[in-house]
Structure 1
Amino acid sequence: MTDPLARIADALDRIAPPPPAAADPLAHRAYVWRGETLVAAREFDPLPLDHLRGIDAQREALVANLARLAEGHAAQDVLLWGARGTGKSALVKSGVAAVQAKGGALALVEAVTGGLDTLPALFALLAPVPRRFAVFVDDLGFDAAADGRALRSLLEGGAEARPANVRLLVTSNRRHLVPRDLAEQESAINPRDSIDDNLALADRFGLSLGFHAIDQETYLEIVRGYADAHGLAFDPTDAIGWATRRGSRSGRVAWHYVVELAGRAGKSLEN
């Protein structure tokens, strides 16, 4: 007689959904790396670059670096750090799309933040592909120094460092990624060694772009840019009140306000 456990296992295998088919790394503009399989992004339609206001210097630096990567020239790994909602993630996606629009052989690959240990497998997959890739790790932060050391090894110096056709783009609310632990510094034989160990990760990024809280004038400029692009009228006093109730001024808050305006006007928004 067949083992009951074996029959149960066979039945589960039959009803389990098959794993998604791996996407062609030459066929799509953007992908998602789920730790084992590269899949095509369902849709990739980021905001136009000129809709991102108040971050002109960061925009120019990132797009120039991405253009070099697309051309096969020397390019930097990038750390985008700073206040929440200031456009870090939006700029990465819009920057890649802008380079693609000019014919650049570049694709975006968004990697799940919790899967750093699977990045060597992704790098091995992408290394032989005749295309350039910006691997995007969004909202990264560490609770353990071991994670930071793993990423440092991937950036440079390790046996499984990222290949020449791949650069990492990482966003974080922390400038140095790893939290500064005062207790750790106090317990170290040489406190400076502890500090240097934490800062060594941020130092691995050749390009570090800071994003800071914006003033009221810049916030209204961002709202105006979004509103004009979608044919919406707005009252600056109402826009300021929206930000006050949210407790912050940022590009994200401005976009949420414009979504509210569109809803009030009975309109839909594509972005």
Structure 2
Amino acid sequence: MDVDIDWNYLLERLERLLDMGEEHLSRQLAEWEPDPEAFRQHYAFRWQRDEPSGFFTEVTSPDIPDLADLLGIDDALKRMRRNTLQFVRSLPANNVLLWGERGGGKSSAVKGMLGEFGKQGLRMVEVRKEDFFQLPEITAWLRQLPYRFILFCDDLSFGENEVAYRELETLLEGGLEARPDNVLVYATSNSRHPVPERPAEKTGGAEIRPEEEAAEKLPLADCFGVTLGFHPMDQATYLAITRHLARKRGLAPGREQLEREALHWARDRGARSGRVARQLIDDLAGQLALRGAASKDPA
């Protein structure tokens, strides 16, 4: 059966559909475009994926630790401060990887940079590793803004089948497009090598030389210009942190009692760290508040 096709009509319809699609995409891109005023008012942001793109959402109540509370990591803080100062002054600076013990202050050290340099134009954007494939888009937006941005990538750890780190590696090392001058990456990891080695896959199971195995294991960590290790905390430092936090919270148990509580708490947790000390002080403050409230209750 012969069917007459009105090709002109079909072409007109197709053009209208394409115009509608372009208009819809333009509206979406306008919604995703970062608001410069938000970056003037806020220091901390998160990247929120919203397929096929995403947007920056401000953190209205950011956790910005007081660096004076981070005891026992003076050398790491000094190095980070200097690197960040160079960055906010538009001088050459490096991407930073902080690795080591859980609760040792890695994330707090990164976030604390906002307290020191936010007024000098530093901004921080938290990016989850699941969204690393959007790093080219994120940096393209940030390139246009008159601030200095740290991309905060917390708790880096990749399984054998994850490949998201490759976009991060490209950003750190540089691809065909240069990394924006106003963007650095500060990342934390519990391991010096967040990407597992996979020599068998690369070589098809063939035996490899030790230097080849090391080369497979190290690339991502080597992409960071500064790597700072956070090592197990000794007892003296742990107790010093406990006493410092107790004084700051206005708690006044005797030193012997406080240290006894601190050591018992650390044994129960199986670790000594700034995080463990803070959790102890929270518990003690709560106990004292309850006792104070109980003493005021009518009999």
Q: Tell me if both proteins adopt one fold, taking TM over 0.5 as the criterion.
A: yes
Map residues 36-75 of structure 1 onto 2, 5 A cutoff. 36-75=54-93
Map residues 83-162 of structure 1 onto 2, 5 A cutoff. 83-100=101-118, 103-144=119-160, 146-160=163-177, 162=179
Structure 1 runs (4+) deviating above 4 angstroms are 19-23, 181-186
**CA distance in structure 1 between the partners assigned to 2:41 and 2:135 by the alignment:** 21
1:36-57 deviation line (CA, Å, top 9, x unaligned)? 1101102124221110001000
1:52-106 deviation line (CA, Å, top 9, x unaligned)? 0010000111111111111111110000000111000001011221122xx4211
Q: Once the 2 structures are TM-superposed, how far is the Cα of residue 112 of structure 1 from its aligned partner?
A: 1.7
Q: Are the aligned partners of 1:111 and 1:136 in contact in 2 as well (CA < 8 Å)? A: yes
Task: Report the CA distance shift for 1:172/1:129 in structure 2 as closer, same or farther (over 3 A).
Answer: same
TM-score normalised by the chain length of structure 1 = 0.84
Equivalent in the alignment of 1:207: 226
Q: Are the aligned partners of 1:153 and 1:161 in contact in 2 as well (CA < 8 Å)? A: no
Equivalent in the alignment of 1:221: 240
**CA distance in structure 2 between the partners assigned to 1:119 and 1:98 by the alignment:** 26
1:252 aligns with 2:275: yes
* Segment of structure 1 superposing worse, 224-233 or 175-184: 175-184
RMSD: 2.2
**CA distance in structure 1 between the partners assigned to 2:234 and 2:200 by the alignment:** 35
Q: Are the aligned partners of 2:67 and 2:112 in contact in 1 as well (CA < 8 Å)? A: yes
Q: Are the aligned partners of 2:47 and 2:57 in contact in 1 as well (CA < 8 Å)? A: yes
Q: Once the 2 structures are TM-superposed, how far is the Cα of residue 180 of structure 1 from its aligned partner?
A: 3.6
Q: Are the aligned partners of 1:120 and 1:162 in contact in 2 as well (CA < 8 Å)? A: no
**CA distance in structure 2 between the partners assigned to 1:152 and 1:248 by the alignment:** 32
Letter in 2 for 1:148: Y
Equivalent in the alignment of 1:9: none
Q: Which has the higher contact order (CA 8 A, sep 6+)?
A: 1
1:5-34 deviation line (CA, Å, top 9, x unaligned)? xxxxxxxxxxxxxx8995533331111112
**CA distance in structure 2 between the partners assigned to 1:161 and 1:212 by the alignment:** 34
Q: Are the aligned partners of 2:121 and 2:148 in contact in 1 as well (CA < 8 Å)? A: yes
Map residues 4-15 of structure 1 onto 2, 5 A cutoff. none
Corresponding residue SS for 1:209: strand
Q: Once the 2 structures are TM-superposed, how far is the Cα of residue 137 of structure 1 from its aligned partner?
A: 0.3
* Segment of structure 1 superposing worse, 106-115 or 155-164: 155-164
Unmatched runs of 5 consecutive residues or more in structure 1: 1-18
Q: Are the aligned partners of 1:87 and 1:252 in contact in 2 as well (CA < 8 Å)? A: yes
The structure richer in helix per residue is: 2
- State the identity as a percent: 39
TM-score normalised by the chain length of structure 2 = 0.77
Letter in 2 for 1:80: L
Task: Report the CA distance shift for 1:182/1:123 in structure 2 as closer, same or farther (over 3 A).
Answer: closer
1:32 aligns with 2:51: no
Unmatched runs of 5 consecutive residues or more in structure 2: 1-30, 291-299
Equivalent in the alignment of 1:261: 284
Task: Report the CA distance shift for 1:170/1:71 in structure 2 as closer, same or farther (over 3 A).
Answer: same
